[in-house]
A and B are shown apart, each in its own frame.
Chain A
């Protein structure tokens, strides 16, 4: 038995070693990670930054036009009252969930491969959650009253409706954004100190010095850091689950066919983690190549993430099957009709595309070669992102298009401004990342150093 385990270990190689090449010492880690901060920007960076800035401006224009002309510029109608805005909201907040999942769950379960990817996964969380938070406000129509969701003493003598998931959403998202920021920033402090101490010019040193808050790396500070960081990680897991559960409840609390299902909260949480992980893989392939991090983000990291995507796709497939089964088993004609409508109605190509991208395509990860090849990882993760976005959109428009009252049935088609706003937020997301890679170390250096030190002492 022991022999078998030993041979198995030898065949696959010592797992920790593949996380970091043997010749990597502290200096190499620091140089590799800080290089994009201090080196002059490349031409590719300028092009990417400019394109993303242009898309950001498109987002600003789309929002401005929405504010001027009202929600009538979108494709929503009196039957399908939720369109792209809510689909984008659910999709973005889902992406925002995986960063904390990686940071917290993988930290708590001592998954060492997390160290190379957690920094940008957390940044992804922060940006995605902030973008997600825009959409419910934009879709309000009278967006300037959004603060009515907050409990505050007012001359109307009104309070928010505490029994509404939309109010829960407000609290969940607000807490999540503040929490993610604190978690991300805390992990960043020791690395900002390294940037401060490696800075070439006095001005750079001062800027990083201010944000490093006087970090000296004393055991006193490391102790406080560890206690706070681990406790936050433990809190993050239930928080993440609560955030997307509430998003699921936004639908499940309604009485519409296809929405009023008890499976929704866990189904949304799994979907969020699935799409978020896909986005992490997409970003990891891009950063690895563009920031020269091949030695720090290794094939082993991708292999682990691919396995999680595979698991996610199986759970998603199971969730879809459960929905179909419950519609049939529950015996409600409207529910049964809705499933048929999904599979063969107005939007059938999108529904089948969703099934293909979310359930079928990720099955290639059963093959080790697919898990290790960067092109296949990038292709599959992009398709999952598309598939999950389709899922979010279809959940909304299928149900709303075919409610209980046939005389109210209508179909949904997006307008230019729907598409421009969505593309604009994608550009804004990229823009924030383009700025961030030049400002902040994109790999958690202190955790990679810990890995390197452990390797030496073994």
Chain B
């Protein structure tokens, strides 16, 4: 028996969350949830994922700081030394600010890149958008994506849980 993917839309996160637990209890797999705002509740029932965004930002920040300090040290000490009244060439406290700014800049750029990659924000149009209710997930609907081998049973369960519409995912 082949599995099918259903998209069911709900009026609220709360109804969707109740439906998730009922579906899971009956052995259907809930793959993903879509909603118009960030909700810890929905994320918790659909499932958290590990994220590398913060690690990427941290490493980029370190690279930025090292780049900043390295560039200034090399240029001030080796490439373009100026003896100004015998003051030290490697005047590191004066170098901290540029190093700090570069570390923040690198972290922001790396974080944004990782955000695009992890959020799969690289495709402007996906087939998913052909489902009408998913277009409403950006403002007032909560949509669940269910993978199940027993489609009719899942449909009945979803209807009882208060789903507005249930469709097979166009894939």
Tell me the bound Cα distance from A25 to B141 in angstroms.
12
- Bound CA–CA A25/B12 (angstroms): 11
Interface residues on B, range: 35 or more
Contact with A along B7-42 (1 / 0, CB 8 A): 000001110000000000000000011111111001
Contacts of B160 in A (CB 8 A): none
Chain A residue nearest in CB terms to B84? A163
**A227 contact set on B, CB distance < 8 A:** 51, 53-54, 115
**Complex-state Cα separation, A168 to B97, whole angstroms:** 7
The answer to whether A196 touches B76 (Cβ under 8 A) is: no
A-B contact count (CB 8 A): 181
* Cβ contact of A218, chosen from B32, B51, B102, cutoff 8 A: B32
> Chain B contact residues: over half helix, strand or loop, or mixed?
helix
* Residue in contact with B32 in the complex, picked from A27, A196, A215, A220, CB distance below 8 Å: A220
Among residues 321 to 346 in chain A, which have CB atoms less than 8 Å away from a CB atom of chain B? none
Closest to A179 in B: B108
Contact B98 A162 (CB under 8 A): yes
Q: Evaluate whether A235 and B33 lie within 8 angstroms (CB atoms) in the complex, with A159-B80, A172-B101, A198-B139 already known.
A: no
* B102-A214 in contact (CB<8A): no
B54 CB contacts on chain A under 8 angstroms: 227, 231
3 interchain residue pairs of minimum CB distance? A224-B119, A26-B140, A228-B115
Known: A217-B34, A242-B97. 11 other contacts (CB 8 A): A159-B75, A168-B97, A171-B97, A174-B101, A186-B112, A186-B115, A214-B122, A214-B125, A216-B134, A235-B107, A449-B37
Interchain residue pairs with CB less than 8 A apart (13) = A162-B72, A162-B94, A175-B104, A183-B108, A193-B138, A197-B139, A214-B124, A217-B35, A221-B119, A222-B38, A224-B115, A228-B53, A228-B112
Give chain B's interface residues, CB within 8 Å of chain A: 12-14, 32-39, 42-43, 46-49, 51, 53-54, 57, 71-72, 75-76, 79-80, 91, 94-95, 97-98, 100-102, 104-105, 107-109, 111-112, 114-116, 118-126, 128-129, 134-140
